[in-house]
Each structure stands twice: as structure tokens, then as C-alpha cells.
Chains A and B, each alone.
Chain A
Amino acid sequence: MEEFVQQLTNGLAVGSIYALIALGYTMVYGVLKLINFAHGDLFTLGAYLGLTLLTSFSLQDKMGPLAAVGLLAIMVMGLVALIGALLDRVAYKPLRDSPRLSAVVSALGASIFLQNTVMLIYGARFRVYPQDILPRTVIDFFGMPIPLMRILILLVSLAMMVALYTFIQKTRIGTAIRAAAIDQGAARLMGINVDRVILIVFMVGPALGGAAGLMVGLYYGQINFTMGWVYGLKAFTAAILGGIGNIPGAMLGGLLLGVMEALGAAYISIAWKDAIAFMVLILILIVRPKGILGERVAEKI
């Protein structure tokens, strides 16, 4: 029982990280019908920027751990959002009217480019996050010790997801995003500035991805320049699992995938941990390509 709860909470923490990344895929897909392959690398960039800011300012000495991490998160999210917007302008905007698969190749190129930029700047080896930023408290949960970090990650990501959901559902900009996702042409005729909507999507998604990168750094303590690819693929699987283009779907898919992976690694085989996500991906695309909650069907030709 204890192992089960440990794996479950671990899966939920990792799953909420997947969910945060998946939101970026799903939002871009919703509006542009483009799989932004470079999204995983924006996530990596978030992790590395977090490390740089953390070690260069040493904020935790000046303002206490929680406030420091909060401020750090805001800075990382802002920077990654800017890079996301820049990426759209450089790699995707010139291709708006080209065949969609050109944009996919451009996205792959952007992914390779970003990943190698990180490698050339920070080196190819694993980098270690300072271990003493957040206290390694363990709280007692019905007699079972659960690391505080897991609960924090889960709570913070849930808060971000709720904030995003409210933003999409209740604000004027959110309404514009939803309209552009349904029909760009009609949205344009209704006076919505679709270009601005796309820009916002390319800032919000990467900001969440950057936050997820910071969380991975804080949770696992080490980061690598290639990690964006694996996390990106898993988050993309999560987005498809929930139904791509569907925001609650991405959240559900992320949590579900995280739990499946943690339980699979614990009870089936740890060696197959990474394969589980890919098998889920292939199965879902064969059996139910529109995902659990999705309305947007993976078009068949």
C-alpha cells in the first residue's frame, strides 16, 4: 500500500509537469493545427534559464526560499514566453500559408537548433541544480512520508492550470483564442486580430513549459540538454491522450500518463518506463485518435 501511494503521488507530480507542457502543444495545435516540435526544447530552456538565474543572483539568500523560487518562476516564464514569441515570428509566421508539413519540418529544425544552442552554451553533460533551495521536508500523510516537493509541484501546476482555464473561458482574449481555434477566417471577420491571438498562444504555452522545466530542475535536481525531446514526446502523448486541441484534455492526459508511467515502472519493469508512453501513444492513435475528451479528430485522409 505504501509503495502504491508513493508511486501514485510521484506519478501525479510528474504527470502535472507533463500536463503543463502538454498545454503548450494543445494550445498551438488548437489555433494553428501545428505540432510545435520545438516546444520540448523551450521547456529545456526554462530549466537551464532557471539554473542560470538561480546561481547568478542567489536570491534564496536574500528573500527566503519560497519567495525566491516564486520570483525565479516569474522571470523564467517571462523569458521563455519571449523566446516562444520570437520562435513563432522566425520559424512559423513565414509559413502560415505554406503546406502544413513545411511548418512541421521547420518546427523540427527549430527543435534541433534550440537543443544544440543549449548544448553549445551549457555543455553536453548533466547540470546539477543547487540542492538547498527548497527545504527537503517530508510530511506525514496518514502515516506515510510524502516529500513536500511533490505536493508543491502538484498544487502549483493545478493552480496554473485553473488560472489558464479561467483565462481561456472568462476573459475577452480567451474568447478570442477559442474563436480563432474554431474558425480563423470567421474570427478575422468578427474583428479578432488573429495574429495577436497566435502571438499570445505562443507566449502562454512556452511560459507554462518554462515553468515545467524549472520544476523538473527543482524536483530531480539535474538537467540535460536532450531532456526536452523525451519530455516533449511524453507531453505530446498526454495531449493526444486527452484529445489534442482540448485544454482540460491536456490536463487529464498529463496526470493520467504520469500515473500510468509511475505505476508501470514500479509494477511492470523500470527498464520499460520510457516505452510505456510510446506504447500508449501508438495505441491511442490506432484505437481512438480523438483522445479521451477530444472533439478534434486526428484527420484521416
Chain B
Amino acid sequence: MMTKKKGLAAIGVLIFATFPLWMKYVRPDDVRYWVDVINNVGLYAILALSLNVILGDAGMYNMGHAAFYAVGAYTGAILNTQLGVPILLALPVAGITAGIFSAIIARPVIHLRGDYLLIVTVGVGEILRIALINDVFGITGGPNGIFGIARPEFFGFKIKRPDHFFYLIWGFAALTLFLFNRLKQSRFGRALDYLREDAVAAEGSGINTDRYRLLAFLLGATWAGMTGSLFAAKMTIISPESFSFWESVVIFMIVILGGSGNMAGVILGTFIVIALPEVFRDFASARMLIFGLAMMVMMVFRTQGLLPPKPRKFNLPKLAEEGE
């Protein structure tokens, strides 16, 4: 039973991993376009997974995730264009910068109740965007942004075509999935589960809720920062418009609609929110209308999202006579 399920999953992964190869035969005319769509899905999936740590696992309403994404993208772009650091090497630095930025922001407001935290993070995102447009730091290029970001190189192999990026982005997504899944099984993951369900009881059981909240925020923001650098590498040009408030809304929506707290749900949500409108392009202008409606309907009929997390299972050690 279990092996059959694993086998099916392996086949699914294999089909997906060879997507750029077989898409060439399915849609020979616009294969690049469709691979690019799936690349965007990949970027949003990583972003949504990183927000999921903050929103789904720790239960903190962060609607300024695009701000951390932006900090990472700009750090990567500046390191690359000003100092000539290869973008993939700049990736961790971008993540750490976004993490530090998030810690400075989150420290004083992390106690605030859900809806207040939401408003504060919206405010932070807007202030950062206005700061970028006004070019406060003198190196962000104002409203035009930064262009001429070099293509990433992987051990001498230049990544430039959409199908190259497919493997870079989805490789990073797979790594994210693996690491976050390990994290969920850890003491950290269990602590977040506890404090989300009942912060007072968690505090009473000796969980330092402030510390775990801050750590979750930091982790999510760091990951968003690294994704920002990937985005900068893929686009070669970034500007404040790429990190508007609506980006934060879209990422937030993905997590809520997909099923906050469940990574499979988040991935499903990303495909629905990002890829589905590309298939039904006639309705493109009504996209947000439908998602707004879906958010309302979902809260009334299925608060937990399409694929909510399953309750945690613990395998008890088998009794001696049942063992091998």
C-alpha cells in the first residue's frame, strides 16, 4: 500500500521533472512560454512555502511578505551589479539581509494581535516600496530599479534559457520542501504547532513563545530573501513595481486558499492561483474578483483551505513480539 503510493508519487515527480522535455512536443510553438509560467509557479511556491512558516505554522498574519522578497532581490542585484558577486553566491547573503531586516521589524510588533500585525506588515511593505521609489539608499535606482543583473552560473554552466531556470528554481523548491518538512518534524515545528493552537498553554509548558515566533518570522523572511535573489537572476531587471502590495496579497491568498500549514496544500494553491489564470486567459481581468470571492466562500464553508494539514501522527515503538 505504502510502496504503491510512493511509486505513484515517484512517477508524478518524474513526469513533472521532465516537463520542459515533453512540453516541446505537446506545445512546440510556445514551449518557452509555458516553461516560464511553471518557473513563475516555482518562485511563488517557494515564497508561499516561506510565508507558510510564518502564517500557517506560527499563525502570524504577515501581509508584507513582498517586503522581504524585495530586500533579498535588491541585495542580490546590488551585490551582483556593483561588486560583481555571482548571483548564486549572493543568494545566502540576500537571505541573511532579509532575515536581519525582518528581525528588526518584527521584534517590537510580534506581540500584536493577528489583525494588528497584519496592518503593521502592510505598512512596512508600503514604506519600503516608497523608500525604494525615492531611492533613499542611493543604490537602488529609484523607480527604474536595477538592470543588467548577470545570468547565474552553475559550475561554469551558464543558466539562461527558461528550461535551465526550470531546474534551478524547482531544484531550490525541492530543497525547500525537504528542509521545511524536516523542520516540521523537529522540536521547532512541534513548538510552532503548539503556540499556534494555544499560545497561553504553550507558554505555560515552557515554550518561549516570543522566541519561537521571532525565529519563524526570521526563517520565513530569510527564505523569501533568497527567492528574491532567484527572481532577480531570472528577470535580470528589478524595480519597485515587482514588489507591490498586491504581491503580498497574492502570496497570502495562496497560503490561505491552499491550506495554511500544509505544504502540499500550499503547492496546490500556487498552481491554482498562478498557473490556472494562464490557462483561462479570457478571464484574466476577472482573476482577482474570482479569488476575492473564493476567499469569502472558503472562510464560510471551508475555513482551513483546500488541503488542510493532517493531524500529527506519532508511530509508537512496536512491541517486541511484533518486531522482526
- CA A101 to CA B113, docked complex, whole Å: 10
Q: In the complex, what's the smallest C-beta–C-beta distance from B299 to chain A, in angstroms? A: 4
Interface footprint category on B: 35 or more
Q: In the complex, what's the smallest C-beta–C-beta distance from B263 to chain A, in angstroms? A: 20
- CA A106 to CA B296, docked complex, whole Å: 4
Q: How many residues of A contact B (CB 8 A)?
A: 45
Q: Is there contact, CB below 8 Å, between A35 and B61?
A: no
Q: Which residues of B contact A100 (CB under 8 A)?
A: 114-115
Q: Is there contact, CB below 8 Å, between B134 and A272?
A: yes
**SS of B interface (majority):** helix
Stretch at the interface among A53-61, A111-119, A189-197, A213-221: A111-119
Question: Which residue of B119, B199, B249 has the most chain A CB atoms within 10 A of its CB atom?
Answer: B119
B116 contacts chain A at the CB level, 8 A cutoff: yes
B89 contacts chain A at the CB level, 8 A cutoff: no
A173 contacts chain B at the CB level, 8 A cutoff: no
Residues 109-133 of A, flagged 1 when their CB comes within 8 A of B and 0 if not, give 1111111110110000000000000
Stretch at the interface among B34-42, B122-130, B168-176: B122-130
Residues 219-238 of A, flagged 1 when their CB comes within 8 A of B and 0 if not, give 00000000001000100100
Q: In the complex, what's the smallest C-beta–C-beta distance from B266 to chain A, in angstroms? A: 16
- CA A281 to CA B288, docked complex, whole Å: 27
Supply 25 A–B pairs (Cβ within 8 Å), ascending by A: A91-B296, A100-B114, A102-B299, A104-B61, A104-B114, A104-B118, A105-B299, A106-B295, A106-B299, A108-B295, A109-B291, A109-B293, A110-B296, A112-B291, A112-B292, A116-B289, A233-B126, A269-B134, A275-B130, A278-B123, A278-B124, A278-B126, A278-B127, A282-B124, A301-B200
- B interface vs A, CB < 8 Å? 61, 108-109, 111-116, 118-120, 122-124, 126-127, 130-131, 133-134, 199-200, 245, 249, 252, 256, 285-286, 288-289, 291-296, 298-300, 303
**Closest 10 interchain pairs by CB?**
A109-B295, A112-B292, A113-B292, A278-B123, A116-B289, A109-B296, A106-B299, A275-B130, A116-B288, A94-B300
